[in-house]
Amino acid sequence: MNKLVVIFGFLVMVGAQWFVPANMIYQQEGALVEGTPYKFKTRPVDPSDPFRGKYIVLNYELSSFAPVDSTLQFNEYVYVYIEEGEDGFAKATEVSPYPLDTEQDFVKAEYQYSYNQRVNFNLPFDRFYMEESKARPAEDAVRDVNRNRDSLSPVCYALVYVKEDVAVLENVFIGETSIQEFVEGLEE
Amino acid sequence: MSLRSEKELRHLVAENVISEDTSKAISDYYASQKKNSPNKLFTLFGVLGGLLIGLGVILILAHNWDDFSRGVKTIWAFAPLVVGQAFAGFALWKKKGPAWKETAAAFLFFAIGASISLVSQIYNIPGSMSSFLLTWILLAAPMVYLLRSHTATLLHLIFATAYACNVGYFNDASPWGYLVLLVWVLPLYYSQLKSHSEANITGIYHWAFGLSVIITLGAFVSGAANFGYVLYILLFGILYNLGKLPFFDHKKVRVNGYLVLGTLGMIYLLMVASFKWIWNERYFKTGDTIDLVFAGALVLITLGILFNLYRKRRLVPFNVFQYVSLLFVLIYAIGHFRTDISIILVNVLTLLLGVSAVRTGAQQGRYGMLNFGMLIITILIACRFFDTQISFVVRGLLFVGIGVGFFVANYLMYKKQIRLKNE
C-alpha cells in the first residue's frame, strides 16, 4: 500500500480512537457542569459486566405517567418532562413521543407500554459502576433501607444532571451519604 | 535445517546417492529459506503477550478505582490507548516486521476497549453491551488493513461474532451490522487466498470464517422451531461444497475447515433429524419471512457453487454429500404432508451417506474415510435404539454385525493394498 495512504489512514484511525471517548467525555462533562441536578428515588440491585466491571442497576420509582392523551402513538422513546417536586425529588409533569417546544428539562426514556392512559417507561441512567467489592454490600444496604422504610428512614436516590438530551448519573445517595461512603461506613 | 535432515544428507552422501556438492546446495537452500522467513515463534509470543497485557489492563480498570478523581481516571482511560497507538505508529513508520505489527495490533485492540469502557464507567453511561462492542470493533477495524495484522483480523472476526450473538440471541433482533463487519475483512481474506494460500494462517482463516458464520446464522433467524434445521443444513451443505472447490479440494483435511465443518455439521443434523420426536407437528412450522428469505438465499448459493463445480467437472464421480442439503429441503417439504415418510427418508439418506463414505474409502484406499462411513452407520443404528421398539436380541445382533463389519472392511482394504503393492 502507498505509504502516504497508510500514514493518512493511521492518523484518521488514531483520531477516531481519540474522538469517540473524548466526545463521550465532552457530552457528559457538559451536562455535569452546566446541567440541572435532579434527585430520582431508586432501588438498586447488583450485576456485573465483563469489560466495564461491577455496577448496580437502578430501578426508579418514576417509571410511569398518567394521564396521557390516548391518541398519542409511542414508539421507541418517551420524552419525560421533569421538574423538582415539593419533596425535593424529580417528578414528571408531562410525557410525549416527540420533543416539545419548551425550555423545561426532559429525559429521553425507553418506552415500555401503555395501559389505561398510563405510559410506562425506563429511565436511561440505570447503571451505576462501583468498585468491585462495594457493589454487593451496596445492594444489600439499599434493600435494608427500603425494607425498614418509615417516614424517618433515609431515602435512596440518584443524583442526575440533565442538559438537553444528555442525562448524567453523578452519584447515588442513601440519605445524605454517597453510596460508596455508606458502604465504607458499614465495613468499619 | 533440522539436525535430522543434516544427518540424512550425510548418510546419502556416504551411500553415494547424492554428491557432496548437491548436499551443500541443499543445505544452503534451506539456510537461505530460514533467513527469509520471519521468526514465527517470536511473533506468536509477542501476540500472546499483547493479548494478555491488553486483557489484564481491561480487568484492572474494571475494578473501578473509586478513590481516584474523575480527572485521574480519565488520564488512565487514555494511557493504554496512547501506548498502543505509539507502538502501532512506530511499527508502521519504521516498517517493522510482523512480530511488531501483530503485537502492537493485539495490544491496541484491547486498549481501545479499555478506553471506552473506562469512560462509560466514569460517567455511568448506560449503553447496551452490543452497542459497546460495535463501537469497539469499528474503532479497531482500520488496523486490519493499516497494520496488515492477522491478529487484528481474527480479533475483528471473534468480536463481530460475539456482537452478532449479543444482538441476535440475547436481544432478539437481527444483527445486520455483522454482515458489514464480515464484508470488511473479506478483501484481506481474498488477497490471503490469492497470495498465501499455503500459509498456516490462511488455514486458520478458513476455520475462523466457517465457525463464525455457523455461530451467527441462528442469530438472524426467528428460531421458529424446526425450520432452523433446514437453514443450518443448507449452510453446512454450502461449507462442504466450498471445501470441494478445486482451490480447497487438494488441501490437507486439517487445513480444509470448510469441508470438515460442513461434513460434521450435516451428519450431526441428520442424526438429530432422524429421531421421531423432532418431526412432531407442534414444532413443525415454516418459519417467518426472514427465515424463508435466508433459506432462498442459501439455496441459491448452493446451486451457484454446484454449478461452478459442474463447469469445472468436479461433480463426477457422484458424491451424495454434495446434494444432502438440497435433498433435505425436499424431505422437509414432504414432511408438511407426511412426517412418517420424511423420517424414513432422513434415515435412508443418512445410511446412504455412511455407505457412500465406506465405498469412497474402499475405492481410494483411505482408512479414515472408510471408518468414518462405518461410524456414521454405527451412530445411526445406535440412535434408532432410542425410539424404536426392537427386541434386545435384534439390537445385540445388529451391533455384533456392525462390529464384524468394521473388522472385515478394514481387513479387506488392507489385503487390497498389499495386493496392489505386489502387482
Please list every residue in chain B whose beta carbon sits closer than 8 Å to the beta carbon of residue A128: 124
- Nearest CB among A17, A129, A132 relative to B81 is that of A17
Average pLDDT for chain A: 84
Report CB contact under 8 Å: B143, A180. no
Give the C-alpha distances (Å, rounded to integers) separating B42 from B37, B45, B64, B95, B100: 12, 5, 34, 17, 9
B108, B125, B132: best mutation site toward chain A, by most A Cβ within 10 Å? B125
* Best mutation target, A8, A40, A129, to test chain B (most B CBs within 10 A): A129
Query: Distances in Å between the alpha carbon of A126 and those of A41, A94, A100?
Result: 12, 21, 24
| Nearest residue, CB atoms, A131 vs list B65, B89, B142 | B65
Q: Report whether B144 contacts B153 (CB < 8 A).
A: yes
Task: Please give the span between the terminal C-alpha atoms of chain A, in angstroms, as a whole number.
Answer: 62
Partner residue opposite A51 with nearest CB, options B88, B117, B124:
B117
Q: Compare B96 and B324 and report the one with higher pLDDT.
A: B324
For residues A23 and B289, which has the higher predicted lDDT (pLDDT)? A23
Nearest to B162 by CA among B96, B347, B154: B154
Work out the percent of chain A whose per-residue pLDDT is above 90. 18
Per-residue confidence band for B261, with pLDDT thresholds at 50, 70 and 90:
very high
Name chain B contacts of A12, Cβ cutoff 8 Å.
Answer: 142
Q: What average pLDDT does the structure give for chain B?
A: 86
CA B147 from centre of chain: 24
Who has greater pLDDT, B35 or B316? B316
Please count the CA atoms within 13 angstroms of the CA of B416 that sit on its side-chain side: 13
Residue given cell 462442504 in the structure block: B240
Min Cα separation A164/chain B (Å) = 16
Interface of A with B (CB under 8 A): 1, 6-7, 9-10, 12-14, 16-18, 20-21, 24-25, 28, 49-55, 124-132, 134, 168-170, 180
Q: Angle, to 10 degrees, between the axis of helix B227-243 and the axis of helix B200-220?
A: 160
Distance from CA of A34 to the nearest CA of B (A): 15
Q: For chain A, which residues make up each domain, given as ranges?
A: 1-34, 35-187
State which residue of chain B sits closest to A122, comparing Cα positions.
Answer: B126
Say whether pLDDT at B208 is over 90.
yes
Residue B60, pLDDT above cutoff 90: no
DSSP type of residue A104: S
- Residue from the list B63, B117, B139 with its beta carbon closest to the beta carbon of A131: B63
Residue type at B117 in one-letter notation: S
Cα(A180)–Cα(B66) distance, integer angstroms:
8
For chain B, the structural domain boundaries read: 1-37
User: Helical H runs in B312-391?
Assistant: 324-335, 339-364, 367-387
**HSE of B341 in the Cβ direction (CA atoms, 13 Å)?**
9
Give the amino acid at B20. E
Per-residue pLDDT tens digits for B18-58? 888 888 888 888 777 665 555 777 788 888 888 898 888 88
The per-residue pLDDT for range A114-146, each reduced to its tens digit, is 888 889 998 988 888 888 888 888 878 777 776
| Structure confidence at residue B133 (pLDDT) | 93
What Å distances lie between residue B193 and A16, B32, B119, B163, B272, CA to CA? 30, 25, 39, 26, 35
Highest mean pLDDT (candidates A138-152, B51-65, B175-189, B369-383) = B175-189
Q: pLDDT at position B33, please?
A: 65
H-only helix segments in B63-148: 70-93, 98-122, 129-140, 143-146
Confidence of residue A56 (pLDDT cuts 50, 70, 90): confident
For residue B397, the SS3 value is helix
Residue B284: pLDDT over 80: no
Check residue B228 and give its pLDDT. Answer: 83
User: According to the model, what pLDDT value does residue B247 have?
Assistant: 85
Q: Are B262 and B241 in contact (CB under 8 A)?
A: yes
Q: Which three-class secondary structure state does DSSP give residue A141?
A: helix
Does residue B187 surpass a pLDDT of 60? Answer: yes
Q: Do B112 and A17 touch (CB under 8 A)?
A: yes
